[in-house]
Structure 1
Amino acid sequence: MLRATRLDSLSQVLHVDLLSPDKKVVARRTLRLQGGRASGDLDIADTLGAGTYVLRAYTNWMRNAGDSFVYSRRLSIWPASPLGPQEPSAPATGTPSKSKSSAANKPDVQFFPEGGYLVEGMPGVVACKATDASGRGLAVRGQILNAQNAVVVPNFSSRHAGMGRFSFVPGAGQRYRARLMLPDGSTAEYPLPAVQPTGYTLHVVENAENFLVEARYRGAAGTPAPGPVQLLTQVRGVVAYPGPRSLTADAPASWKMPKKNYPNGIVHFTLFDAEGTPRCERLAFVQNGPSALRITVTADQPSYGAHAPVQLTVRVADAAGQPVATNLSVAVSDAGLSALDPNAETIASNLLLTSDLVGYVENPGYYFREQSAATAQALDDLLLTQGWRRFVWKEVLAGQKPLVRYVPEQEVSLTGQVVSAQGSRPIPNSQLTFLQMKPVKNVATATTDAEGRFTFSGFAVRDTAVITLQARRSQGGSNVIIRPDNGPVPGVQPLPKLPSLAAAPAGVAALCAAAARPRPPTWSCIPRRPCATSN
């Protein structure tokens, strides 16, 4: 079951950008939306350097929720010819170059206690995530030591994409650290989060039919029991409030939550104390079997010639075989490209998983390829480490709404800022001249506001508009710079290097090899001159 979606009826303009490996916008399309839909394309020039790029799409109104809510997807662009510009290849994931400084390339390893906290004397689960500088997972293994160098967890290791977990009971007044063996054979130590003397913990395990939830509490000596606690669960607005439970230092509270009561997707478990304050949170995933829709596609011919028309009959039925009205997206590709990246993002992985998580999720399609114990464990590790971005309880309970800085766009506009030649000081009252040559000729003027900002809108746009802007100071000087808006600020995390062609999917390697293969000569004759060949 996918998330119920509605077409955007608020905004009339969609922005689509292609960002280069150094986070520069190298291609952009501004599209008019009609009923929430738009058609467009991005032309990839043959002079574009190979590397890892980011495709992002957003409306102006979406930016009020934060730049992390902008849709983005990483794209690998390989050179179509060995003569084309190439980005230096990186070693395969998990095998960083030993020639670089180990200190400068120390992996990022973070630890996440289940529910949010480690509490003295209470069993806890700690998830870990190890990544390189570009966010790709790294395989690590190691042990957990206390302040006296005693080993409390003798051995643990990451599983899929550098993520894993371990369990232990933290002692009073202790601090813990992990001693890890890194992919290049070196060792490094990383601190674990501090242990709390008092507090709540939340533990979730699952079986085929239920989530089993357990809450524990440890208070200061001589303090009374905290009173009943309440568990709230929700999946995209489907909320379940099981009954409150009493909770003492000696008796944990527990709940059994049937999976069948939820739609597929991330389920958010939140523990509230007797005063209604959120104390612990935990994410899990509901996957109630395969899709109930049965889709069959039948071609009108067994095979086709070049440029022959193709007619497909699509039938969609439910589990009982009854017809179902649906909206479908269809993509057609060369048969050799069908398995380019089986772990890449899909519509299902985006709607059900990555759109609700913070940061980059590596190979999201992996979690939906098959339902197995290993995949379920890897997915749970992801949810223990990756975080939640849709809302924060403190803001919700305080009635705090996002600051509205961007208005819904009803027409294509050109916005930006005029600054000093040094690029640091806004120029108010700057006089701008707008010259449009295509698709129609148009001239307009405007004046910047106190922050040096300007907006031009209402001009004709059909496919491509050719526009020239000129700006002068109010006194007539021209030593100014025009900075058009470039959309959301890209994240600070560097993009991964493009893997070598040998590590690319087989379909990519075959296409690049075909593109690099010498073409047959073509012949052209010019009257009264000898014939010449060109490759």
Structure 2
Amino acid sequence: MTKFCFSVILFAYSAFAQEDFKNKIVEPLQKNNLYFEKAFVHTNKTTYLDDDVIWFQAYVADNNNLPSNKTTLLYVNLTDSGGQVIASKNIFISNGIGVGEFDIANINGSGQYFIQAYTNNMRNFGDANFFIKEINVIKEPSVTDKSIRNEYDIQFFPESGYLLDDTENVLGIKLLTNGKGTDFTGRIINSKNQEITRFKNKYSGLSSCKFKYASGESYQAIIETNDTIIKLKIPESEKRELLLAVDNSNQQLEIELKAPEKLVQELNKHNFTLLFHQNHTIIDYFQIDPKSMINKKIEIDKQQLKNGVNTITLFKNYEPIAERKFYIDNQLDELSVSLEKDNSKNDSIVCNLKILNKDKPLKSRLSISVLPESTADFNETTTIKSAFLLTPYVTGYIENPGYYFDPKNPKRLEHLDLLLLTQGFVRYSFTEMVTAFNPKPVYEFELGFKLKGTVSPLATNYLGLIAKNNTLIQKIYLKNSNSFEFNKLLLYRNDAVKISFLSAENEAFQPEKIRLNTVEKSTFPKINRYKISAPKKELFTEKQYEEYKYYYGTRLNEITIKSKKSSKNSIRLDKLAKKYRSKVFDIGAYYEIEMPEDSRKNNELFMSFFLRNQGIRMVNWKGIEDYLEVSYGTEAALYVNGRRITATELSTLSLKMKDVEAVMKQPFKNYIKYQVFTNERYNNDIVELFDEFIVTNAYDRSKKYYTPAFNHKRPSGFMEMDWKTNLTTDNNGRSAFKIVKTDVTQKTIFSIQGLSEDGVLISEIIVK
């Protein structure tokens, strides 16, 4: 065998042809490469009940897995299986990291849902590069409907994109049942019903086989799955010269260009070149000498290639004729992640995390999901490694991409190569290849939000955007135009801002007329998936299923006993409880105080209404502080949006009735707690010198994570312990964090995902 190194071409071939290929092929492909971004969203769990919150940390990186500094805005959508957007978040990205959450209380029905994420720049490369992750939501268990008819999708993938006569061909086979990979066996027969070869499912509906395609023959595949026999015709051979075959199972990458011996002499009339590339980056290329290299194996040092998915494209006379993707893993066993638990504290456990790369400390940013070992259905099907090293470089849907990066799976790389074999060759001309390599930059990077509009009449050329505390956010020069545009704004949804003309000395005065352009961005794309039914009984252990029946059955029975139909008040109370659970952990113990509808529309101070409506009086204690008294010996505590109003704030609370959404009450033996929740327009410290504008198209503020309150009816398999975001390791590669101490006899699952400042990906599941 001949061994090749990219830095030196070890064969006598025309230097002119080599230079010609560089000018005609390589340079046009590299001419206008766009900055490439990819996204990953790590969620705190993979399966949720309908009263859960989906907490997540998002990562955005470039083609080299370095944290992206080009974008500060990531769009994250929650969609159903049909691609319909249920909820959308604008996540602020700082140095490649952002956090957020979805409240799924309003999701209708059990089943599979999807987290979708993309930056504006990612849209330049098509929606195939968008991040997509499946999650499961369970409202109640369901039993499989045996009457559902299976739908089969069977595809054949010749290794070079075609089959060649009188040559050993490699054929990839993919079989999906109702959109999921399934077990199968099969064989190929010729026109005389003679068996040529056999194959069977190796992993997730994927298989392959080898057979020599005899000239003038036709072939048929007979596949058996789910007690069903399916017969399909194998694609016919094509009038081609060469097959591109790749063997990635050894230490060296082996490439072979196969051709019938009778055609080898004819091949000398053409130029053949192998181009190695990853995504939109050229790695190297070399030309083929048909006399010495056809039907012989060529070895390539894998260290010369990029980590992740690489592509070889075979050119004939400057046109691509065959292609093959393969995976290079040059980082095996280089990363070490260890975690130790210190149980010496009374109420918590201190966890000490240490990360080394090539035995050197690694500075990184992490998110960690902390779950009890009993957690049901925990399956991290999508990891930062699969999101950054695999899915952006392949087309189509990948079932359980995280499997290929779990070192516990001994055949993962073999199965990954099988997956890439079934990618096939998308036939295109060189012109189309250049377009794919260099898409036009239609969508720009987004560093914050824009605020556009017009003001009139034009009193001065300086316009200022003012925050709620009357600090200047941004000052622009209008150039004698009534139109304005503030750029790169770090604003959050429902923030109140004011727009003012400014003098040279920054003295503010109000415009007579302001008109804002508040056009919202559209959400896209819809995800094309098979619609998957709700979780089925056979997916659970008997114990888990009994827990489901107990949990949901008890809830339904209670509802039936109380009322056949929920009242409007109970529905509203349920909505309020779900909405404000993050602010008040025991919100379910409160009941709402009825208020006249017109009271919410006037400018009356809330305290005036509150004292009058509830028969409460404000009492001053020894001239030192005020407090609220319901009756002698019974005090009242007032909270606004979950925050206790202090004694010094009671007499100065400027909250108006028009800003109140709900007032709730919880009585105790010697005092009463009142919770006041405000509507979206309320902001206690805005000085109304100018008209206020509520920002709707802006970043979404992330809430602080809270562990759900204990519920003895909740299935134990769906409890969670903690969710850690924005963790960082120091110069020694260490990070320490606390988790709540629970049952010491039960082990804990730590699902760790992260990204180092120099592009190393961290993906570990540790059970301690």
CA contact (8 A) 1:163 1:382 kept: yes
CA distance in 1, matches of 2:544, 2:381: 14
> If the length of structure 1 is used for normalisation, what is the TM-score?
0.71
**Paired residues for 1:138-287 under 5 Å:** 138-146=182-190, 148-183=191-226, 185-218=227-260, 223=266, 225-227=268-270, 229-235=272-278, 237=281, 239-241=283-285, 243-247=286-290, 251-273=294-316, 275-287=317-329
CA contact (8 A) 1:18 1:27 kept: yes
SS in 2 for 1:316: strand
Separation of aligned partners in 1, 2:325 and 2:206: 15
Contact 1:202 1:213 in 2 (8 A): yes
Counterpart selection for 1:119 from 164, 173, 177 = 164
Counterpart residue number, 1:108: 153
Partner of residue 353, structure 2: 314
Query: Is contact 1:226-1:248 (8 Å) kept?
Result: no
Distance of aligned partners of 1:342 and 1:7 in 2 relative to their CA distance in 1, 3 Å threshold:
same
2:334 maps to 292
Counterpart in 2 of 1:358?
395
Distance 1:211 1:294 in 2: 27
Q: Distance in 1 between matches of 2:552 and 2:255?
A: 57
What runs of 5+ residues in structure 1 fail to find an aligned partner? 92-96, 416-437, 441-455, 467-481, 528-534
Cα distance change on mapping 1:462 and 1:400 into 2, 3 Å: closer
Q: Given residue 140 of structure 1, which amino acid in structure 2 is its aligned partner? A: F
Contact 1:339–1:507 (Cα < 8 Å) also in 2: no
- CA 1:44/1:255 → structure 2, altered by over 3 Å: closer, same or farther? same
Determine if contact 2:324/2:425 at 8 Å carries over to the other structure. no
Secondary structure at the counterpart of residue 119 of structure 1: coil
Partner of 1:474: none
Determine the C-alpha separation between the residues in 2 that align with 1:172 and 1:374.
35
- Aligned sequence identity (%): 21
C-alpha deviation, 1:61, in angstroms: 2.3
Q: Secondary structure at the match of 1:402?
A: coil
1:490 Cα shift?
1.3
2:181 aligned residue:
137
1:510, distance to aligned residue in structure 2 (A): 8.8
TM-score (norm 2): 0.51
| Bigger relative CO (Cα 8 Å, ≥ 6 apart) | 2
The offset of 1:214, in angstroms, is 0.4
User: What letter is aligned with 2:356?
Assistant: A
Q: What SS class does the counterpart of residue 153 from structure 1 fall into?
A: strand
Secondary structure of the equivalent of 2:123?
helix
Aligned partners of 1:357 and 1:388 also within 8 Å: no
- Relative distance call for 1:221 and 1:265 in structure 2 (3 A) is closer
Name the SS of the counterpart of 2:69 in structure 1.
coil
Quote how far apart the aligned CAs of 1:384 are.
Answer: 0.6
Give the AA of the match of 2:391.
Answer: T
Matching residue's letter, 1:65: F
What's the offset of the Cα at 1:112? 0.3
| TM-aligned CA deviation for residue 364 of structure 1 | 1.8
Tell me the equivalent position of 1:462. 492
1:401 maps to what in 2?
438
- Please say if residues 82 and 526 of structure 2, whose CA atoms lie closer than 8 Å, have aligned partners that are also in contact: no
> Partner amino acid for 2:326?
A
Deviation (angstroms), 1:366: 2.0
User: Counterpart amino acid of 2:329?
Assistant: Q
Deviating more after overlay: 493-502 vs 515-524 = 515-524
How many aligned positions are there? 451
Is the CA contact 1:143–1:151 (under 8 Å) kept in the aligned structure 2? no
Offset at 1:125? 0.6
After TM superposition, the structure 1 stretch with the greater mean CA deviation from structure 2, 488-497 or 57-66, is 488-497
Would the alpha carbon gap of residues 197 and 248 (structure 1) be closer, same or farther in structure 2, given more than 3 Å must change? farther
Q: Is 2:522 aligned against 1:492?
A: no
Q: Does the Cα contact within 8 Å between 2:318 and 2:430 map onto a contact in 1?
A: no
Larger Rg: 2
Give the distance between the partners of 2:443 and 2:143, measured in 1 at CA: 39
1:286-333 superposed Cα distances (whole Å, 9 cap, x missing partner):
22463313233344x325555x4x6544333344x4x42421313131
Gaps of 5+ in 2: 1-61, 453-466, 470-484, 497-517, 559-587, 591-665, 670-712, 714-768
